[in-house]
Amino acid sequence: MRRGRLPTPGGLGSVEAALVVALVAVGGAAAPATAVVLVFRVVTVWLPLLPGALTLGALVRLKVI
């Protein structure tokens, strides 16, 4: 049975790898480039989830949804 390749949400993994490669290609060091890309992903993907989760919890607690 063949296994298909499924895209990950938000290009998770492949986008980070491409960004690190791009930063290193323009002259950056690999370790700082990796750190910058991981901070970028945390700020743009994971932090915005926090207010949404808190709002969802409040709405469920208030029986709005």
Q: Is residue 7 pLDDT above 70, yes or no?
A: no
For 5, half-sphere exposure in the C-beta direction (CA atoms, 13 angstrom radius) is 3
Provide the pLDDT for residue 53.
95
Provide the pLDDT for residue 46.
87
For 63, half-sphere exposure in the C-beta direction (CA atoms, 13 angstrom radius) is 0
Q: CA-CA distances (angstroms) from residue 9 to 6, 43, 46, 60?
A: 9, 16, 13, 26
Percentage with pLDDT > 70 across the chain: 86
DSSP helix/strand/coil, 56: helix
- Compute the distance between CA of residue 27 and CA of residue 62 in angstroms, rounded to an integer: 53
Provide the pLDDT for residue 30.
96
What is the model's pTM? 0.69
